[in-house]
Amino acid sequence: MVLSSKKNKKSFGKKEFRVLIIYRFLPHYRVDFYNNLKNKLAIDNINLDLIYGKKKNEDRLKMDEVDLAWARYIPNKIIKLGTKQFYWQSCLSELRKYDLIIVEQANKLLINYLLMLLSRKRYTVTVRRHGVVRTFCL
């Protein structure tokens, strides 16, 4: 899901455009992608930030997570409802300074629901699923 601010329609030329990616965890195979993306966007005066959490419980045993020096780690909080697990990432205070917010498409990420509610006034939502992109204003 991609959220683009309606308030902050900035040109890419003179003023810095700020992009935030929020991810539940940072797998080792995505590090090169994020580093290259950050470097290429910087050429066009686009600042990329990344907020990520860490896996919990048995998922941690896969040992496929890493840290990234320029990214920000915020611990995930797990909320259990019956047999289901949901994840909360406490990063709402960070969102206002970004022109574009990209989140992982996953039903178990509670921040996605809150961002969709906020999008009614502040954002255009773009949902991307395996090659399909849908954009709509809420």
Q: What is the full per-residue pLDDT of the chain (138 aa) written as tens digits?
A: 555 555 555 445 567 889 889 888 898 888 999 999 999 999 999 999 999 999 776 555 566 688 899 999 999 999 999 999 899 998 888 888 888 888 888 888 888 888 877 766 665 555 555 555 555 443
Per-residue exposure over 48-64, b if at least 16 CB sit within 10 Å of its own CB, e if not: bbbbbbebeeeeeeeee
Closest CA to 70 of 41, 31, 100: 31
- Separation between Cα atoms, residue 83 and residue 96, nearest integer Å: 34
Closest CA to 80 of 51, 110, 114: 110
- Separation between Cα atoms, residue 119 and residue 121, nearest integer Å: 5
**Both tokens assigned to 101:** 């917010």
* Residue reference for tokens 């995505």: 30
DSSP one-letter code for 65: B
Closest CA to 8 of 134, 71, 95, 104: 95
